[in-house]
Structure 1
């Protein structure tokens, strides 16, 4: 039964819960009201019975009959009249010896009064009580009867049966019973309406489905590599994932946690001042993207609104490290360059052989010498050397592409490769090395430092070793050192267990870069 209840749908549970709550509340109120009305009816009847008993006790006929100490037809008729007029169940006139002089049942006249609750009245007090008599349980009122000399000569007892009292209370409660039934019907309708309303607001999902979605959402947020921030309509952060906390509260140098304070509750502008500009640019309902530079690293910043029931309740901010995008773009470009170079060499190889053979056959040695000089131009020689000495096509293609950037600006770009660079399966190491070299080459080109550039590149002891030698003015040396110690370079070096050192004198700078590089095993 318990498992069956657990398997019930949410709207059924909500309906029963609300209905039971309403029914229990209304029932308790009904019982309390019934009890209160019964008590009020009893009190009212007691007061009324005392008033009638006082009238009977003051009648001269009753006083005369008690003085005589014997019943008579006149007093019995009077008692019957009072009983009928006030809808009572009995009117009894008794002597001080508890002998009845009147009674609805003539056979009970001149017999002792039963009940035991008349003692106070025999002592001269007006009382009311509920007791068991010859007619059953009844509500009674007792009033003493006094003679002219203020001497008690008997007691008048009148009353109604408790069943009659309950009937009176029931008539009083009849309108409330109708209200109770209407309240239950209304409660049932309200229970169904409330259940369906709550279910609609919960997008018709069951609790177990909501729990699963919540767990899935938390897993997605915590395991994604993108930093994610969720804000409310006041641009205060209400949710952040682990990557966001690492980004804005990074680790200390000793590896211990930095500022462990939660990001929840902080204004978004305090972490991302550009977020306000993005929101203004995109508007309240349009997602926007922008490259954002933070601590030396480029991020693809995306801001999108969160809409619930066609109302914007906040926004979600995603920060993706653009380094991987840059690396992927470079990798594709370098691979394309490498493939193009191989294709060109394969296509031209036979043509060149035919030309050389033809010139040799015709004994045109001067033209053959000129032709050989042309095919051994530096650009072609560089491509051939890179393909031959660098067995990693991604690195070879990258270097060929970098040389084209330098030659476009009329700068030399020659690399001495020793020993040969083997292939590898460690793509992360290759990408990080390419990104560092690309950054360094870009700085050299932007600041026109490539006139006397010398590059040495090789593979030693499971590491790539790269050495740059160039002439740099002292003022530019400080700027170069600062750029090479930027957070982005530090992060890349940390990923590949790398080390970067700078040696400089008055006009000459040597940059040593060593990064991990695992040779591919056959």
Structure 2
């Protein structure tokens, strides 16, 4: 994304200023034109009104009709001129000879301007022409006697310079208003720019575009399904992995814009918005597809405005867990066997150096027979090779830790009908064993007993330890997620154990007393593999 030359704030200020300035200039032009027209019309009307007033004066009519002396017209016309603030008032007879004029020497002379012809023919009008007093707007009105006969005319002039001044005065007010408007527009543009900048967290458009591109790439590249909703529960974001999983569950429609409760009724995302709390590592059945879901609220300024869920097919997660568990168990078994082998080598070396060859022969023979017996017992009783290898690794680990591990399998445990059970059994036995080994760390008598019994499609798992035991209050909390007496970031083993037992529809009984050790008894439905075709 290419970075622009100007910042978002500068662009907003410039753009708003240009828009405001252009708007005010256009408004100025329109209003100025109207003001000019209005001023001219006002002055025109003023001149006509003065001319009409003089044309109706009995004194002027009698003077032009010969009833009285014409000398009185000059004084009357100049008085009217001074009172009405016009440029001139000229009364003329039918020959165009002036009876009045601001300049007395012009009285008795012919009217100048060349635009008086129509008024002497009885027409009233306004014209613009240049006379002795300069360019002016002239209003002409015929003068008629009481019989309706025209006996003369009157011309009232207003200087065009005065008209221009009146127009300029009106425009000055508009110009001042325009400048004030531009100034207010600039202030408003700066405020708007800062507000938008704040909303966008100080990011420039190119940075926002880059973030959106990166966000889209990240969301579409992850293997986890992601779905987001807004405060009203509408789906606002779905990535490709989520759509792919939805199709596997039989949901073919495009979920964008749909209500989450209608599209995925069991998602519980709307409750996350209301509570504002996270919901992690929860199972959800999606039309037969079991997924592991993490749900978190989207919070802006301490207010939930939406929610996001990330999820993955549980089968894939279990496959990874099995791979990791197998590798870890294999490594633990190798480490335990290597440590045990080194101890035995030290014993053998000591017997060789002391030349106790008969004792050496008996020791080697007993060691070989013990290993054969132990491995043979486990593999004979446990037909599932994965579970058998897991138990052999735990036996080696117990010997390495200096604990006494007693393992007994009362009856033969056949292969399970569903390989999924093996994974759950490893989770259950592994967590019970690890918990027991941790319980005897500070105990003088470090002993753990593991017993398996299979009968009538029920598998019983018992684990006893000689640890410090638990009070009733602790027994009620040990299965809670995150609860542990061993420090922070612990307390997930027995929680996973309880979930595995629940998934297999089994039961768990815990018996413990302080100072007397602990007994875990698990009862599970166990469907054996049908071997009728073997």
| TM-score normalised over the length of structure 2 | 0.65
* Mapped partners of 2:96, 2:149: distance in 1: 16
Does the C-alpha gap of structure 1 residues 84 and 65 become closer, same or farther in structure 2, counting only changes over 3 Å? same
1:284 to 275, 278, 299: 275
CA deviations over 1:452-492 (Å, ceiling 9, x no partner): xxxxxxxxxxxxxxxxxxxxxxxxxxxxxxx9xxxxxxxxx
Does the C-alpha gap of structure 1 residues 344 and 178 become closer, same or farther in structure 2, counting only changes over 3 Å? closer
Aligned equivalent of 1:142:
140
Aligned equivalent of 1:471:
none
1:275 alignment partner, SS class: coil
How do 1:103-502 and structure 2 match up within 5 A? 103-106=101-104, 108-109=106-107, 110-116=109-115, 118-172=116-170, 177-250=175-248, 259=252, 261-276=253-268, 280=271, 284-295=275-286, 296-346=288-338, 347-348=340-341, 350=345, 361-362=357-358, 373-377=369-373, 379=375, 400-401=389-390, 410=410, 412=412, 438-439=419-420, 441=422
CA deviations over 1:253-297 (Å, ceiling 9, x no partner): xxxxx83x4311211123433332x65478533222132233554
Unaligned runs of 5+ residues in structure 2 are 395-406, 429-452, 458-503, 505-528
Does the C-alpha gap of structure 1 residues 444 and 509 become closer, same or farther in structure 2, counting only changes over 3 Å? farther
1:291–1:298 CA contact under 8 A, matched in 2: no
What is the CA distance between 1:47 and its match in structure 2?
Answer: 2.5
1:46–1:141 CA contact under 8 A, matched in 2: yes
* Mapped partners of 1:367, 1:30: distance in 2: 114
Does the C-alpha gap of structure 1 residues 271 and 148 become closer, same or farther in structure 2, counting only changes over 3 Å? closer
What is the CA distance between 1:87 and its match in structure 2?
Answer: 0.6
2:333–2:392 CA contact under 8 A, matched in 1: no
Does the C-alpha gap of structure 1 residues 188 and 248 become closer, same or farther in structure 2, counting only changes over 3 Å? same
Does the C-alpha gap of structure 1 residues 45 and 227 become closer, same or farther in structure 2, counting only changes over 3 Å? same
Unaligned runs of 5+ residues in structure 1 are 253-257, 384-394, 416-435, 452-482, 484-504, 511-522
1:94 to 83, 92, 95: 92
Does the C-alpha gap of structure 1 residues 29 and 324 become closer, same or farther in structure 2, counting only changes over 3 Å? same
Q: Greater CA deviation, 96-105 or 352-361?
A: 352-361
Aligned equivalent of 1:519:
none
2:235–2:256 CA contact under 8 A, matched in 1: yes
* Mapped partners of 2:44, 2:359: distance in 1: 149
CA deviations over 1:100-126 (Å, ceiling 9, x no partner): 44333456552343153x454333232
* Mapped partners of 1:312, 1:366: distance in 2: 74
The RMSD of aligned alpha carbons is 4.5
1:290–1:302 CA contact under 8 A, matched in 2: yes
1:130–1:140 CA contact under 8 A, matched in 2: yes
What is the CA distance between 1:364 and its match in structure 2?
Answer: 11
Does the C-alpha gap of structure 1 residues 71 and 247 become closer, same or farther in structure 2, counting only changes over 3 Å? farther
* Mapped partners of 1:318, 1:373: distance in 2: 53
Does the C-alpha gap of structure 1 residues 411 and 266 become closer, same or farther in structure 2, counting only changes over 3 Å? farther
1:360–1:368 CA contact under 8 A, matched in 2: no
What is the CA distance between 1:171 and its match in structure 2?
Answer: 4.1
CA deviations over 1:342-401 (Å, ceiling 9, x no partner): 334443363796899999954999998776543312526878xxxxxxxxxxx9977611
1:20 alignment partner, SS class: helix
